[in-house]
Amino acid sequence: MSTNRIILNETSYFGPGSREVLISEIKARNFRKVLLVTDKDLVKFGVAGKITALLEKGGIGYELFCDIKQNPTVRNVNDALAAFEKAGADVIVALGGGSAIDTAKAVGIISANPDFRDVVSLEGVAPTTKKSTPVIALPTTAGTAAEVTINYVITDEENVKKMVCVDPKDIPVVAIVDAELMASMPKGLTAATGMDALTHAIEGYITKGAWTLTDMFELKAIELIAKYLPAAVENGGDMDARNGMAVAQYIAGMGFSNVGLGLVHGMAHPLGAYYDIPHGVANAMLLPVVMQYNMESSIGKYADIAAALGVDTEGMDEKQKAQAAVDAVKALAVRVGIPEKLSALGVKEEGIPALAKSALADVCTPGNPKETCIEDIEALYRKIL
């Protein structure tokens, strides 16, 4: 029998307003100086101000770093590392979506393991020896679950690729999942990150490494996303829906972080690297197409997915239930306004071979339940071109 492993946060807090625990956590752990890693939009729209106000009120010294792209790069990591060292910080507070939290994870790992200062050597499962400098993560999007995963993704611009880094030593020591910090997300970002979470849940459920405990997480995540995502997109002020999505994406992360993903992510990463397409948008466009491709290999699980999505499958046979799952995912993507064609986002036919080559080599692709090949991947990209 194989051995299954679960790695989760030491401490997590949930609920609107839960960011208030930040100061007590910093003080209880005897941290003295914070590097606050976030992005310029969160500074501009006042979200970062909610955290700096807490730090100032609590008498905690901090420096701010906010120069991060939506697909963070090796340069972003190097700049943030320099800011961390200049600040003399002993803890990183990461405020943002996957971009800010992933950058913070990379800085945390490198600052504790300086042999990996080139950043690119972190790709895959790097042989780091020391636990990351402590990271406290406060997500502002309901999608990536970066606050509970052992993964982070950095773009290597020189080689035009997204590096998926997997390291149990990078998991944040504290996650604070406060839906009030997500209230400023515009509709498009709410939709894209929510579909990213759904992709995590579905791929985590059908991936080769899935097992009983992660299946439990993923099915519940699918159920909650189907329930709360439309309302979160359609009424951003609906705090019940925002909180439902905040919890759902975290639950999905608890699962996929420990068992891996599949071809949707394998194909989405090159779209981000080559065309800077937001990760959630790429996942959402690919998910129903790749689900159709994988159907025969996971048909029983697709029936479970249909039920979790709230589809009435009474009277259907297993194949009909599986098709209903694919159709429901497609309908949800359309309902929340996900683009349907890659050509509208700048992708051209002549770019497909390079995308497919990168997708086949991606660290997520081997987890796909169906064995694939470069010709199949090219055909899948063309279906949504």
Interval 248-259: pLDDT, tens:
999 999 999 999
| pLDDT confidence tier of residue 22, bands split at 50, 70 and 90 | very high
Output 27-31 pairs: Cβ under 8 A, ≥24 positions apart: 27/58, 27/60, 29/91, 29/134, 29/173, 31/60, 31/90, 31/91, 31/134
187-383: CATH architecture: Up-down Bundle (1.20)
Q: Residue ranges of the alpha helices (H) in the chain?
A: 22-28, 40-44, 47-57, 74-87, 98-112, 187-206, 212-234, 239-259, 263-275, 279-294, 299-308, 318-335, 352-361, 374-383
Cβ-Cβ contacts under 8 Å for 299 (sequence gap 6 or more): 318, 319, 322
What's the average model confidence in pLDDT over 4-28? 96
Per-residue model confidence (pLDDT) at position 70 = 84
Q: What are the structural domain ranges in the chain?
A: 11-182, 187-383
pTM above 0.85, yes or no: yes
**Distance between CA atoms of 243 and 227, rounded to whole angstroms?**
12
What's the average model confidence in pLDDT over 103-124? 96
Give me the phi and psi of 262, to 5 degrees please: -165, -150
Per-residue model confidence (pLDDT) at position 2 = 76
Whether the pLDDT of residue 1 is over 70: the answer is no
What's the average model confidence in pLDDT over 40-69? 96
3.50.50.60, 3.30.420.40, 3.40.30.10, 3.40.50.1970: CATH of 11-182:
3.40.50.1970
| pLDDT confidence tier of residue 365, bands split at 50, 70 and 90 | very high
